[in-house]
Amino acid sequence: MKAFQLIGGSADVDETTALNEVPQPDPGPGQVLVRVGGAGACHSDVSLMEFSAAGPREVPMTLGHENAGWIEAFGPGTLATPGLEVGAPVAVYGAWGCGQCQNCRKGMENYCLNISASGPGLSVDGGMAEYLLVPATRYLVPLDDMAPVEAAPLTDAGLTPYHAIKMGLPLLVPGSYAVVIGAGGLGHLAVQFLKALSPATVISVDQRESALKVVAGLGADHTVVAGPGAAEEIRGIMGGRGAEVVLDIVGYDDTLALAAAVASPLGRLTVVGVGGGTLPFNFFAFPYECSVQSTYWGSVTELHELLALARAGHFSVHATEYPLDRAAEVYRKMVDGSLHGRAVIVPDAG
């Protein structure tokens, strides 16, 4: 089968990736073979490319950690259950933990105490191929009547901001504000989740006016162009106060500084983006009792919730489909900033 793989050697997309012919996986005991219907392209894949250039990684490795498709076959001893039969459409939960620690037993394998950043397209072959090998049925979520190509980006681009927002919902009472920095693949979904789940006034920030135009059409109450005067403009919208919830979907030095500048006392600042920026801290750096945290993915239970929200029609994914042989083009667009919304790689697309 064909697979788009990380091969290492350079941070340049064309030098560190390749479309290769690889053996089709054969499911072993407890495993499930999924025929891929869609694999989302994520900016964290670009980070993987950069890391592979900076140091040794186990390559070649098939990329793609946002996956959905149809169950093709079960390995020996793997039992089908209602909704998880051969031919059933499924989303693949991508954070694969040990399955035994306290966090895994809660369904939060994203915070496994024994394994860090494990999963398809991260530590083992991912879904930018015709087939994906999944180690256990607990990572599969039935899609019912949802198309896999629509569900794929929700497994990370949707789940990550959903989890971050869900943790901040107790603060988002009537009259509250939420600021989302970054209006791209995750940001345009975060805006819609906030509008669907809370009464907060939502302010979206991005340096691209075209991206802000998209989120304005998706429900953002205010949009602000990132720049030197952004913090003052945002505070002006809020009447001089700060926001109860601030999500930094980017994670650069300047976006983190903006996030800290517009947060409120007793607020919540969540760093979602992996831009590599830092946020200096001292007693006076933040509003009093403003909590600051990073987040990684969400739980499998939250993926069930998110898919139910999608089926109810509470949000839409701004995504473009690309065939497997154009995957490198997608990442080039991502690097140069010309990719809007989300891209989904479809192995059998023409």
- What string of H, E and C letters represents the secondary structure of the chain? CEEEEECCCCCCHHHHEEEEECCCCCCCCCCEEEEEEEEEECHHHHHHHHHHHHCCCCCCEECCCEEEEEEEEECCCCCCECCECCCCEEEECCCCCCCCCHHHHCCCHHHCCCCCCCCECCCECCCCECEEEECCHHHEEECCCCCHHHHHHHHCCCHHHHHHHHHHHHHCCCCCEEEEECCCCCHHHHHHHHHHHCCCEEEEEECCHHHHHHHHHCCCCEEEECCCCHHHHHHHHCCCCCEEEEEECCCCHHHHHHHHHHEEEEEEEEECCCCCCCCCCCCCCCCCCCEEEECCCCCHHHHHHHHHHHHCCCCCCCEEEEEHHHHHHHHHHHHHCCCCCEEEEECCCC
Domain with CATH 3.90.180.10 in the chain: 2-156+298-346
Cis status, amide bond into 142, omega within 30 of 0: no
Average pLDDT, the chain: 93
The share of the chain scoring above pLDDT 70, in percent, equals 97
Greater confidence, 131 or 116? 131
- Is the torsion defined by CA of 116, 140, 319, 166 positive or negative? negative
pLDDT greater than 70 at residue 136: yes
pLDDT greater than 90 at residue 194: yes
pLDDT greater than 70 at residue 77: yes
Tokens 């993987």 locate to 48
Q: What is the pLDDT of residue 350?
A: 45
- Residues 330-346: tens digit of each pLDDT: 999 988 888 877 899 99
Say which range, 15-19, 115-119, 161-165, 283-287, has the weakest mean pLDDT.
115-119
Q: What is the pLDDT of residue 54?
A: 52
Average pLDDT over every residue of 275-287: 91
* pLDDT range class, residue 23, cuts 50, 70, 90: very high
* pLDDT range class, residue 5, cuts 50, 70, 90: very high
Closest by Cα among 223, 153, 161 to 194 = 161
Domain with CATH 3.40.50.720 in the chain: 159-294
pLDDT greater than 70 at residue 53: no
* pLDDT range class, residue 143, cuts 50, 70, 90: very high
Superfamily of domain 2-156+298-346: Medium-chain alcohol dehydrogenases, catalytic domain (3.90.180.10)
Average pLDDT over every residue of 255-267: 97
Say which range, 10-19, 25-34, 195-204, 242-251, has the weakest mean pLDDT.
10-19
For residue 21, the number of C-alpha atoms closer than 13 Å in the C-beta half-sphere is: 0
pTM score: 0.93
Average pLDDT over every residue of 128-144: 97
Q: Specify the CATH number for 159-294; select among 3.10.290.20, 3.40.50.720, 3.40.50.1000, 3.40.50.1820.
A: 3.40.50.720
pLDDT greater than 70 at residue 141: yes
Average pLDDT over every residue of 164-170: 97
- Which structure tokens are listed for 237? 């919208």
* pLDDT range class, residue 318, cuts 50, 70, 90: confident
Average pLDDT over every residue of 35-53: 86
Average pLDDT over every residue of 303-315: 94
Question: 296: buried, middle or exposed (CB in 10 Å: 19+, 13-18, 0-12)?
Answer: middle
pLDDT greater than 70 at residue 135: yes
